[in-house]
Structure 1
Amino acid sequence: MLKKVVAALFALSSLYQMNGVAMADGLDSLPPDQKALYENIDPAIPLGGTVYKDFVAKRPPPWKIGYASTYAGNTWRANMLDEFSNVLVPKYKEAGLVSELVVTQSDLKDSVQIQQMRQMVDDGVDAIIICCSNITALNQTIEYAHSHGVPVFSVSGYVTSPYAINATENNTDGGYKAAEWLAKEIGEKGNVLTVSGIPGFASSDSFDNGAKKAFEKFPNINVVGNVAGKWTDQVAQVEVQKFLATNPAEINGILVQSASENGVVNAVQQSGRDMMPIVLGGEASAACYWRQNPDFISKSFHFWPPRSDARLVWDVMMRTLQGQGPKIQSILRPALPYTIDDVKKVLKEDCDPNSTDWIEPENNSWWPADVANTYFERPVDPLAWRPKK
């Protein structure tokens, strides 16, 4: 935690020093309803104004975009990449705004991601999207990109560099809401198992910190174990099976970080134990179990819907390249609840328990256009925008 606070102070002090950009240009510039979404956050998230307020792209469109991902081995990553490659790129190519998308995977190695990002800059990309990265390890590389006129956008996780924009979820808020709901769902007493993502990664740690804060409100809730599911069903299933096999105590609820809830559901079923409430985060496979067992839980949450996250960061990136002037360095989205009725709208009773799809928020409610416009100085529909002649 100390490291995160120091990183936050460094990032904020840097913002004050650069180009006269001050805190008032960031969080204080947002309307009250959006500003309220920042009340329960990781203290290291930068909330000042950005160096891209008056950014001008180094060349006119069509733009070459880089996507420097850290990992490709789960359903969340697959859905996000599919949204980029097969939905957004074709749409923006047709509009004459994008020429190509360059994709790399670093297999969770910071040094590899750094090398890949530098190569993207040297090869002439106009912007880079990074995913789920270390909050400080890439900062020098992000500054290198900025020095070459290439803005960097972080999705599903944040970085502390003042030369990046974070377009991501409020993961502390997500963990808090999930834990609070689970505690109430099991009667505010009992034993809880938590399944983290990848410890040390901002998304995972922020979510866990929010959950811990919520559980502290319930003195009769006991967190009896934690395993790392690594946001992957197969890993989570093995780790939860091992825990249940070696810990005979009753487990009354399980708090899970997606994309691993289907692995947890499978592990409980194979353990022979009665099913207990499990937090779901959007995997259609786990939602299929809920569809077929409607009394399983009362609700769950969209914490980081992959296609919606892809559209979020893409929209922020395009608006920035177009000179629309982002107001704040970190654009955060809240966890959104969904119910069995929402599941029934998209899944039939004979749904696929092994689906690799996700359930997404309805009607682009993750990042609606009227909300997006409030985060920019000169907002316009990015698909309708055209460069000045």
Structure 2
Amino acid sequence: MRKKILAVVLATTMVLGLVGCGSSGKDASKSSDSGSKKTQTEEFNPDKVEDSKTIEEIRKDLGAEVKVDKDLKLGAIAKSFSNEFWRNFKNGYEQAAKTIKAAGVDVTVKVDGTTDESDEIGQQTMTDNLVNQKYNALMLSPISDSNLTSSVDNAKKAKIPTINVNDGLISAADYFVGPDAYQNGELAAEWVSKKLGDKGDVAIVVGMAKAFAARERTAGFKGWIKDNKSGLNVVAEQNADWDRQKAKELASTWIQQKPDLKAIFCNNDDMALGVVEAVQEAKADILVVGVDGIGEAYDSIRAGKLDATVDSFGYYMSQVATEVTLRVLAGQDIPRVTHTPQALIDKENVDKDAKDIIGWTDPTYVAK
């Protein structure tokens, strides 16, 4: 069964890569070979892989040191840096490059992002350019589940390892690094349940329908309600495409049409902050929970506006992705899925250092 973790999260202890459990519907669909690279691409779901590991488990199994060849070129493709989460992601990649350089190894980490979160073709072009420039490995966070498929195919032909990082599932990629997105929703639902006494009408603002994370976060929220026979009642669910203004307008409509609404779960913090604006303008008593843990969300929690966020710690996630990539290039036997830290953040732990919440330690790189 899925581990009961909310109490641990609220106590701000480490929550790392908890996979597996809870929902009987989710577990029933797991494949006995789901961790294998031979898994059929159309069946691959990183949240259902049974033999995934955390970076701590990988370090324990394979050793803390990562031997790195000089002159490696790593390419990272993200979404729009107008979103703070992806700026944090970029900062994490840049910090990883500094850590590698401090170890005396000359490695290039090039990070590109699109101008907006819907530019699927632009993101594909960026990725194809890295393949053509013969980068040694690619760390990819696609906009949708399909827009980088052909780019990954091109990388495979060029024998370039591909690591799918966090968002937009690339089932053809060699590896996946990111949080258990289904658990994002579970953490949010369990927190809302406790705050509302496990009863009341709730709604979900979904990101882009094409995005794996949006689907899994929504499924996790609803799955927790079903599996725990909760009294929470989902009365509305609609896409806002990761857009703050769209989410605000959607929430404003719900507030007018559904006077008994008690909580709104949003698939990311940008949308949650838009919903907060709508709630404040309506002077409504509605809990709002987001996902991502961007700085503005933390500030809003401190100000008593946003109620909670599920932080996936993008700054550290991209550093984990870089370490996994370098371990792959060093020839280590890495599991297909590496799950990364996440935690529920509310007023109780919003001022605690992220390193302490997730128990982070920097990787150890040495020249090969």
Q: What's the RMSD between the two structures over aligned residues?
A: 3.6
Give the secondary structure class of the aligned counterpart of 2:344.
strand
Distance change (3 Å), C-alpha of 1:219 and 1:310: closer
Preserved CA contact (<8 Å) 1:156 1:304: no
User: Which amino acid is the alignment partner of residue 344 of structure 2?
Assistant: P
Q: SS at the partner of 1:342?
A: coil
2:136 to 126, 135, 147: 126
Per mean C-alpha deviation after superposition, the further-off stretch among 252-261 and 140-149 is 140-149
Q: After superposition, what is the alpha-carbon deviation per residue over 1:142-195, rounded to whole angstroms, capped at 9, x for unaligned?
A: 23213323211111133211x421001100112122112212321121110111
% identical aligned pairs = 19
Please, which moves more after superposition, 169-178 or 134-143? 134-143
Residue 343 of structure 2 corresponds to residue 362 of structure 1: no
Distance across 2 between alignment mates of 1:64 and 1:27: 32
Letter in 2 for 1:239: L
Match of 1:142 among 152, 163, 168: 152
Q: What is the match of residue 64 of structure 2? A: none
Distance 1:253 1:218, change over 3 A: farther
Return the alpha-carbon distance in structure 1 between the equivalents of residues 160 and 357 of structure 2: 28
5+ residue gaps, structure 2: 1-27, 41-48, 59-66
AA aligned opposite 2:317: D
Count of matched residue pairs: 318
Q: Cα gap change, 1:148/1:12 in structure 2, threshold over 3 Å: closer, same or farther?
A: same
TM-score by length of 2: 0.73
Give the structure with the higher percent strand. 2
Structure 2 residue 87 is matched with structure 1 residue 78: yes
The answer to whether residue 243 in structure 2 is matched with residue 239 in structure 1 is no
Bigger relative contact order (CA 8 A; separation at least 6)? 2
Aligned counterparts of 2:264 and 2:290: Cα–Cα separation in 1 = 10
Query: Equivalent residue for 2:310?
Result: 302
Q: Does 1:221 align with 2:214?
A: no
2:332 pairs with one of 324, 327, 336: 324
* Partner in structure 2 of residue 314 of structure 1: 322
* Deviations 1:203-248 (CA, angstroms, capped at 9, x unpaired): 1101111111112234532212123343343442233224324x14
Give the Cα separation in 2 of the matches to 1:29 and 1:279: 27
Change (3 A) 1:164 1:16: closer
Once the 2 structures are TM-superposed, how far is the Cα of residue 9 of structure 1 from its aligned partner?
10
CA distances 1:276-298 after superposition (whole Å, capped 9, x unpaired): 2222442333333432439x85x
* Contact 2:301-2:346 at 8 Å conserved across structures: no
Q: What amino acid does structure 1 have at the position aligned with 2:255?
A: L
CA distance in 2 between counterparts of 1:83 and 1:16 reads 30
**Structure 1 residue ranges (4+ consecutive) displaced by more than 6 angstroms after TM superposition:** 8-14
Pairwise mapping of residues 337-356 of structure 1 onto structure 2 (< 5 A)? Answer: 337-345=344-352
Gaps of 5+ in 1: 18-25, 36-55, 347-360, 370-380
SS in 2 for 1:317: helix
Shift of 1:15: 1.2
Report the Cα offset of residue 253 of structure 1. Answer: 1.0
Cα deviation, 1:269-316, whole Å, max 9, x if unaligned, reads: 012223x2222442333333432439x85xx45342221222221221
1:230 alignment partner AA? D
Q: Distance in 2 between matches of 1:277 and 1:114?
A: 38
Q: Secondary structure at the match of 2:163?
A: strand
2:274 to 253, 259, 263: 263
C-alpha distance in 1 between matches for 2:318 and 2:39: 30
Question: Which TM-score applies when normalising by structure 1?
Answer: 0.70
1:177-196 alignment runs, 5 A limit: 177-196=187-206
